[in-house]
Amino acid sequence: MSNPTVVIAGAGLAGATVAEELRERGFGGRILLLGLEEHHPYIRPPLSKEFLKGDAGIEESDVHPAAWYADNRVEFVPNVEAGSFEPGAHELFVSDGARITYDSLVIATGASARPLGVPGSGHGAVFPLRTREDSAWLRSALEVGGRRVVVVGSGWIGMEVAAAARGYGNDVTVIGRSAVPLSGAVGRELGGVFERLHRDNGVAFRNDAKVVGVDGGEEQVVVLASGERIPADVVVAGVGAAPNIQVAERSGLRIADGVLTDKGMRTSIEDVYAVGDVADPFLPALGRHYRSEHWANAITTGKVAANAILGERASYDDIPYFYSDQYDLGMEYSGYVPLAKDARVVYRGDVEAREFIAFWLRGDRVVAGMNVNVWDVQDDIQRLIRSGERVDADRLADRDVDLAAV
């Protein structure tokens, strides 16, 4: 195979990472990067953080400058949607009716924002947040200030949007299905730390609440199952994302929470890989499949898939990582959320002052760690997780003990 072709269906961070890794590792064949949007690949964290807050321009979200793709012989094709593929013929069918022949195909179709799915949510000032356009529209609505903003969803996106909205001087109410915001990600106790942060900054909460409708008319209101009606000039739907598995479904790939892959991002069909938000890879450290939508996962899976395409060792060994910025609080999290559920939490630092590290322990072994307004500790946290060694919880909590020596 003198000049193999790799076709990447999806031009987000994961797809761009596959292309970049292939070139860095000396792949000399043809690379086609097919994008549903008109933009070159971009990363999503700034859409709910720096750009939304007005602290950065939209170009800060670019994965690479536009010239990088031509310079590295990556053929970026915008406004193209993959339809299905034929494994025997190694052909991908795309939206304009064309057939593209591949030697290796990478499914990098990402995920789409879940709609509110209640009466009235399809019109009026109801904003999703997934694309550059979504973020630009939402920023223009928020930066006016003095508006009544209702955020539906108390996960990371919802809480970051709430912080950005307050930064512009809007009145903000967050509606969440759980008793405590972020409890599914970090537990009730630490979720309470973030809730208090937002309350201290003037955000109102409706926890354990369900939205049943959005009424328009002279005044838009969000209607709760309790009967409460909350006036809203702006409604933000932060209720999660669903993997775009349509190409995989049409083509016969095995699917669970997303497109099932092995630890090398190989799908159930030879020469076809899946990466990023759409992939449901096998993680050796967990001993099970686990899908993640964080940006670090896009990079990790993209690199692993590229290595697998090149016939090199390929295994998802990176520890999942994400970060968040809200008001004056910055945090980083490394670890395995499924293992952290119901695990014992050990704190190092001052939780009330929001300067601490939280460690999740199972059987005296660290399975996750989160640093809040404490920096340059991620290497030590990941070392503790990766080692799997037993730790002394008292030494872990003692700030006088060097974390590197625990």
Edge-first strand listing for the sheet containing 5-9: 74-77, 30-34, 5-9, 104-107, 272-274
231 and 133 assigned to the same domain: yes
Spatial separation of the C-alpha atoms in residues 274 and 180, rounded to whole Å = 34
| Prediction pTM value | 0.95
Among 237, 256, 274, the domain-final residue is 237
Domain membership of residue 89 (yes or no) is yes
Q: Which of 309, 339, 367 is the last residue of a domain?
A: 309
pLDDT, one tens digit per residue, over 360-381 is 999 999 999 999 999 999 999 9
Residues 6+ positions from 197 with CB-CB distance below 8 Å = 326, 327, 329, 354
> Residue 306 in contact with residue 18, Cβ under 8 Å?
yes
Phi-psi map region of 271: left, alpha, beta (phi>0 left; psi -120 to 50 alpha) = left
Instruction: Name the residue range of residue 37's domain.
Output: 5-112+242-309
Is residue 315 domain-resident? no
Same domain (yes/no): 66, 93: yes
The letter for the amino acid at 388 is G
- Mean local confidence (pLDDT), 286-302: 96
In this predicted structure, what is the pLDDT of residue 124?
Answer: 73
Same domain? 17 vs 77: yes
Among 216, 237, 258, the domain-final residue is 237
Do 41 and 81 sit in the same domain of this protein?
yes
What band does 3 get if pLDDT is binned at 50, 70 and 90? confident
Assess whether pLDDT exceeds 60 at residue 1: no
DSSP H or E stretch at residue 77: strand 74-77
39 and 122 in a single domain? The answer is: no
Residue 339 carries which side chain, given as an amino acid letter?
L
pLDDT digits (tens, 9 = 90+) for 127-174: 999 999 999 999 999 999 999 999 999 999 999 999 999 999 999 999
Share of the chain above pLDDT 70, in %: 100
Is residue 70 in a domain?
A: yes
Q: Please report, for the domain that includes residue 214, its CATH number.
A: 3.50.50.60
Question: What pLDDT score was predicted for residue 2?
Answer: 66
320 located within any domain = no
- Tell me: do 141 and 232 sit in the same domain: yes
Instruction: Let me know whether 126 and 232 are in one domain.
Output: yes
Whether 321 is covered by a domain: the verdict is no
**What's 384's domain CATH number?**
3.30.390.30
Specify whether 226 is located in the same domain as 256: no
Count of the separate structural domains present in the chain: 3
85-122 residue pLDDT tens: 999 999 999 998 899 999 999 999 999 999 999 999 98
Instruction: Looking at the structure, tell me whether residues 169 and 228 fall in a common domain.
Output: yes
- The per-residue pLDDT for range 185-199, each reduced to its tens digit, is 999 999 999 999 999
CA dihedral 178, 179, 183, 189 (to 10 degrees): 180
Beta bridge partners of 239: none
Residues 396 and 382 in one domain: yes
**Same domain? 282 vs 349:** no
Q: What is the CA radius of gyration of the chain?
A: 22
CA distance 385 to 319: 8
The dihedral over CA atoms of 397, 400, 402, 406, expressed in degrees to the nearest 10, equals: -40
Residue 218 pLDDT exceeds 90: no
Do 301 and 249 share a domain, yes or no?
A: yes
